[in-house]
Amino acid sequence: MVPSVNGATPRPKVAVVTAVYNGERWLEQALASVRRQSLQDFEFVIVDDGSTDRTSEIVRAFAAQDARVRTYRHVENRGPSAARNLGLAITAAEYVAALDADDLMAPRRLELQAEFLDSHPSVGVAGCQILEIDAAGKAQRMLRSPTNARLASWSVLFQTPVLNSAAMFRSSALRAAGGYSEAAHLVEDYELMARLLKVTEIVALPDCLCAYRRHEGQLSSGLHREGQGARLAVLVHAILRDRLGRAVTLADAAKLYAAARGGVLMDEASVFRIIELLDRLLAREQAIGIVEDGDLRTITMDCAARLLVVGWRHRLLFRTAGRAAIRRSLELDPESRHRPVTRERITGRPFGLVQWPQ
């Protein structure tokens, strides 16, 4: 939970919050990307979560050069949620931009996201498109985030609508949602976005404003995926039951999350079950109807793309079910197989890689 702060002195409208634990390898790059922002009127809260490497030294040196920086340290490591919640409690800013210590901000990120929240009062989280980079900083692929609230609500079944390092929050929305959950270990970002969708809208800007670094040491790496997968299944199961009723099982949730992201299932009945679940989820959206121009069409295209991925992955292993998924995909969107996002999901190769904005 995010504690309230009483009697805080006036602060800039925007704050950046970074929680870091043993982040010496890339921390200086992350901090430098914040300093290069076009919007210069912000405060920067850095919480060292009990690091045992050179993190504290790097943070102290950075803070000594910039009066906008406020630093805090946990004596012992308490985890990312506790550290982020401390940062949120410290700042009185209206908007809070998150940045993990191994990621980067594009120079106009704070400016553009703050302008967007200013002009869209119903939106509580502004995200952006993301460039995935490797440990050496080399561009790998684009990570696409939903650019309207309806698609964000749909996509939460398959991915977090906005990555933590790409998010600028309204502080009021964060407090209404209860902040980061310390119980949601390994899925804290995803779980927070799911709760935020119940109290506000989430929209990503079309601009690429964040670089997300993929490396072996992070909590979302292969070292932690087994435990993460079980927690993700529980999270997706709760969302599915809210939308489709109590008959949806935890196994359904795990299979849907895996298959819709390109995973291979172990039996043909499971493939047919995924087709059924995606059809029911789409029917629910169709019953709601059009809220914004083009939103239902975008969801239908996304559903078709996921069905095509399911069918392609299983076309040889389970021929009948694989063909059924492909056939249903093309019924929903005859151009599905030609769309770049579908081709990228099927091949696993990046399509239309953009350059990092300078």
Which is the CATH superfamily of the domain at 14-220? Spore Coat Polysaccharide Biosynthesis Protein SpsA; Chain A (3.90.550.10)
3-class SS at 297? helix
Could you report the per-residue pLDDT of 181-207, keeping only the tens digit for each?
A: 999 989 999 999 999 999 999 999 999
User: In DSSP terms, which residues pair with 129 in a beta bridge?
Assistant: 208
Q: What is the mean pLDDT of residues 129-150?
A: 92
Tell me whether strands 42-48 and 104-105 are parallel, antiparallel or unpaired.
unpaired
In this predicted structure, what is the pLDDT of residue 345? 74
Q: How many residues does the chain have?
A: 358
Rounded CA-CA distance 53/240 in Å is 42
**Which residue ranges make up each domain of the chain?**
14-220, 245-346
Position of tokens 């990092």?
A: 356
Classify residue 336 by its DSSP letter. Answer: G
Q: What is the mean pLDDT of residues 100-108?
A: 97
3-class SS at 2? coil
Q: How many C-beta neighbours within 10 Å does residue 307 have? A: 29
Which segments within the chain are labelled E, that is strand? 14-20, 42-48, 69-73, 95-98, 104-105, 123-133, 139-143, 168-170, 201-213
State the pTM of this model.
0.90
At residue 289 the predicted structure's pLDDT band, cuts being 50, 70 and 90, is confident
- Rounded to 5 degrees, φ, ψ at 146 are -65, 135
The candidate with the shortest Cα–Cα distance to 271, out of 281, 285, 256, 284, is 256
Rounded CA-CA distance 53/28 in Å is 13
Beta-carbon-side half-sphere exposure of residue 325 (alpha carbons within 13 Å): 32
The candidate with the shortest Cα–Cα distance to 277, out of 289, 265, 260, is 260
At residue 8 the predicted structure's pLDDT band, cuts being 50, 70 and 90, is very low
